[in-house]
Amino acid sequence: MITRLPLNMKRKLTLLVCILMLTGIRPGLTFGQNSGSTPSQYNKPYKNVPDRRDVTIYQVNMRTFSKEGNFKGVTARLDSIKALGANVVYLMPVYPVGIVKTANSPYCVKDYVAINTEFGTLNDLRELVDGAHQRKMAVLLDWVGNHTSWDHAWITTHKDWYKQDSVGKIVSPQGWNDVVQLNFDNQDMRREMISAMKYWIYSANIDGFRCDYTDGPPVDFWKQAIDTLKKISNHRLLMLAEGKRPGNYTAGFDYNFGFTFFENLEAVYKKGKSAKVIDSLNNENYIGATGDQQIVRYLTNHDVNGSNGSAVEIFGGKKGSIAAFVVVAYMKGVPMIYNGQEVGLPYRLVFPFTSAKVDWTLNPDVTAEYKKIIAFRNASTAIRRGKLTSFTTDDVCAFTKQDGGKKVLVISNLRNIPLTFTLPAGLATTWRDAFTGAKTTLNSTIKLEPYSYLVLKN
């Protein structure tokens, strides 16, 4: 028997279907713990996700990135990101932001499986991801796994999924009063969280996650999540921990975050700290790492840009910041660039990132330097994968990277004064400029101009 619907109900259903199609949601799709379903795979999984040693990450803050402040504004500049030399685009949180007790933070997530309409629709995100893949760039989403907004649906439906005090009151983490602490003793919450992560891999064809405040949730949760995600056999995923504990490596993350590298490099510039501290970090940051797990290093990101300053503000202007970036890009780990860094942005992009936009017309000379430095990194197996030997002094970061018969010598003066650097035995020989190919013969000492650098290859 066929049931006929009243005309007004048919119209309402038709309108609903149209709305769902326009927003990229398929009618009948449910996803989560109770549904037991998996969304169908959108588009073909990206097959060219780079080896974790060969990555250059580009961080996008949607609110500051373009005049529009949305996905389409990013899609329109994918060619520029590609031309810079990046091969991984990392998008700050794309989810709806809570409005209860809110500070309008992108890290105050109201719904893990929805798009913040401020940025567009699921289809807009898909177009961005498709565009990146067409340009041979992978895409990571920012995952906020430690806490939710106060108006997340789980607050009402699953209070036991949150940490509570002795009288049953839900609590906030670490004084972040706009968000609520999740309870990782609850296995149902864990499974739902992992299910939501899987949703984005299938529904938007993304290539991994940068996991916010990774050192908050327990290591065994992240291992459970990563082990589950790795079972999606047709996707190669990259996983970045915004944390520094060795257990993140054990959990299966490809990367830990270079907090201490940034803090110490800033102290080299601002407090006159010895550059030799970098050598100690090259060991300390890798405690717990096995195989080719890496550290992500940076001069700025969305946090320190607002609190400490832009890269040129922290690291001695345009020349000083370039000398620092050479160390970030070449010494050990993989580099991350925050949007606007490559134009020498002289002002801060302050939380909640709604008051300023990146001016892409600034400092083309800085952009050209970034492109040159990253292009050589991309071309040099020795830089990306070679053995590091450091000759760093209190003022000059100097090292070689060697892979087989290919050797690169890097010397960067981290001071705003002229210096004389004494070459170690065996390096006073003939090299080629890494950027021009011109021959140069080094003597036992080199005079370095303030914030100058040399990159030479054999």
- One-letter identity of residue 228: T
How confident is the model over 264-309, as pLDDT tens digits? 999 999 999 999 999 999 999 999 999 999 999 999 999 999 999 9
| pLDDT interval class at 13 (50, 70, 90) | very low
- Tokens found for residue 51: 């080896």
| pLDDT interval class at 174 (50, 70, 90) | confident
Spell out the alpha helix ranges (H) of 137-208.
153-157, 187-204
Q: Mean pLDDT over residues 177-189, rounded?
A: 98
Task: Return the closest-CA partner of residue 184 out of 155, 160, 207.
Answer: 160
Q: Is the pLDDT of residue 367 over 90?
A: yes
How confident is the model over 92-145, as pLDDT tens digits? 999 999 999 999 999 999 999 999 999 999 999 999 999 999 999 999 999 999
Task: Return the closest-CA partner of residue 132 out of 215, 205, 202, 217.
Answer: 205
What pLDDT is recorded for position 18?
A: 46
What pLDDT is recorded for position 366?
A: 98
CA distance 173 to 181: 5
How confident is the model over 114-127, as pLDDT tens digits? 999 999 999 999 99
Q: Is the pLDDT of residue 39 over 90?
A: no
How confident is the model over 334-362, as pLDDT tens digits? 999 999 999 999 999 999 999 999 999 99
Q: Is the pLDDT of residue 412 over 80?
A: yes
- One-letter identity of residue 289: A
CA distance 73 to 69: 6
Q: Is the pLDDT of residue 438 over 90?
A: yes
Q: Residue 106: helix, strand or coil by DSSP?
A: coil
What pLDDT is recorded for position 35?
A: 45
Taking the model in full, what pTM does it have? 0.92
Percent of the chain at pLDDT above 90?
Answer: 91
- Tokens found for residue 158: 């699953």
| pLDDT interval class at 14 (50, 70, 90) | very low
CA distance 190 to 221: 7
More confident residue, 17 or 245: 245
In which element (H, E) is residue 81 found?
A: helix 78-84
- One-letter identity of residue 246: P
Q: Mean pLDDT over residues 371-395, rounded?
A: 98
Per the prediction, the chain carries an average pLDDT of 93
Cβ-Cβ contacts under 8 Å for 199 (sequence gap 6 or more)? 31, 39, 112, 113
CA distance 347 to 324: 18
Q: Is the pLDDT of residue 8 over 70?
A: no
What pLDDT is recorded for position 29?
A: 37
Alpha-carbon separation of residue 401 from 312, 396, 425 (angstroms): 27, 16, 16
How confident is the model over 193-207, as pLDDT tens digits? 999 999 999 999 999
Torsion sign (Cα): 99, 103, 104, 107: negative
- Tokens found for residue 38: 């998996």
What pLDDT is recorded for position 175?
A: 84
What pLDDT is recorded for position 258?
A: 98
